[in-house]
Amino acid sequence: MQQDDIARIFKPFEELATNLIPHAVAPGDGAHDIAHIQRVFANAMRIHAVEGGHAETIAGAVLLHDCVAVEKNSPLRAEASRLAAEKAGGILAVLGWSADQIARAAHAIAAHSFSAAIKPETLEAKILQDADRLDAIGLIGAARCFYTGGRMGSGLYDSTDPRAEDRALDDKRFSIDHFPVKLFKLADGFQTPTGRAMAAERHARLEQFYHQFLEEIG
């Protein structure tokens, strides 16, 4: 990423982004790439503009929330955010962040993950969790779902029973099953009023996509 792009996308934290982007993501996962970081940053700044919170802490947590990569099908998946929080603490310490600010950023990173099931205790943590989950619903959420399913070797849907009327849902085998298994549940768990409002809009789009998809396949 060019410096001009960093300055434009991560303003007013372009210096922080310059320092942290080299640590931000592992290569090879297009659902958790630098574009994902950009979208989560934009979501977080939009929520922060209404809800408040310490902006630099939010920005640092956003930039490093996926700094440790664990595949979706790994038994260590639930530990990914804790591992990322630990790694982020060391990176932010090198930048001279205070122990308190590092702790707040690390908690936000640890609590952002659905799999980790850690309750966000600070406003910064609530904002990061909301900002990240917004990227899992709506049309971008649908795209990421099918992309990840393809990487994991899943089919699009069960051709004999796409609606799972006579079978158990299985999102490891069929990407479309991930909508009712997880994605449709996310909108109920948003932490901030602004995040909830944004989530309601995206949830409606996700439901519309799901029903239109099933209609098209017959």
pLDDT value of residue 31: 84
- Name the one residue in this structure whose structure tokens are 């004999």: 160
| Interval 10-45: pLDDT, tens | 999 999 999 999 999 877 788 889 999 999 999 999
pTM, 2 dp: 0.93
Beta bridge partners of 174: 155
Residues 171 and 113 in one domain: no
Check whether 172 has a pLDDT greater than 90. Answer: yes
Residues 26 and 80 in one domain: yes
Residues 152 and 113 in one domain: no
For the chain, the domain total comes to 2
pLDDT value of residue 170: 97
Check whether 155 has a pLDDT greater than 80. Answer: yes
Residues 6 and 108 in one domain: yes
Residues 108 and 153 in one domain: no
191 occurs within a structural domain: yes
- The upper half-sphere exposure of residue 130, i.e. CA atoms within 13 Å in the direction of its Cβ, equals 27
23 occurs within a structural domain: yes
Residues 17 and 113 in one domain: yes
- What is d(CA 189, CA 134) in angstroms, rounded to the nearest whole number? 11
Check whether 56 has a pLDDT greater than 80. Answer: yes
Check whether 112 has a pLDDT greater than 90. Answer: yes
Q: pLDDT higher for 31 or 83? A: 83
131 occurs within a structural domain: no
The secondary structure element, H or E, covering residue 150 is helix 138-151
Domain that holds residue 27: 1-118
What is the per-residue burial (b if ≥16 Cβ within 10 Å, else e) of 105-136?
A: bbbbbbbbbeebebebebbbbbbbbbbbbbbb
Residues 5 and 81 in one domain: yes
- What is d(CA 16, CA 26) in angstroms, rounded to the nearest whole number? 18
Q: What is the 3-state secondary structure (H, E, C) of 46-115?
A: HHHHHHCCCHHHHHHHHHHCCCCCCCCCCCCHHHHHHHHHHHHHHHHHHCCCCHHHHHHHHHHHHHCCCC
Q: Are 50 and 130 contacting, i.e. CB atoms less than 8 angstroms apart?
A: no
Choose one of 87, 118, 149: the last residue of a domain. 118
Q: How many CB atoms lie within 10 A of CB 161?
A: 11
From the centroid of its chain, how far is CA 76?
Answer: 17
- Percent of the chain's residues with pLDDT above 70: 99
24 occurs within a structural domain: yes
Check whether 78 has a pLDDT greater than 90. Answer: no
193 occurs within a structural domain: yes
Choose one of 118, 148, 166: the last residue of a domain. 118
- What is d(CA 189, CA 181) in angstroms, rounded to the nearest whole number? 15
Choose one of 83, 118, 153: the last residue of a domain. 118
Check whether 73 has a pLDDT greater than 80. Answer: no
Residues 55 and 156 in one domain: no
- Percent of the chain's residues with pLDDT above 90: 84
| Mean pLDDT value of segment 144-159 | 95
Residues 158 and 92 in one domain: no
- What is d(CA 45, CA 168) in angstroms, rounded to the nearest whole number? 39
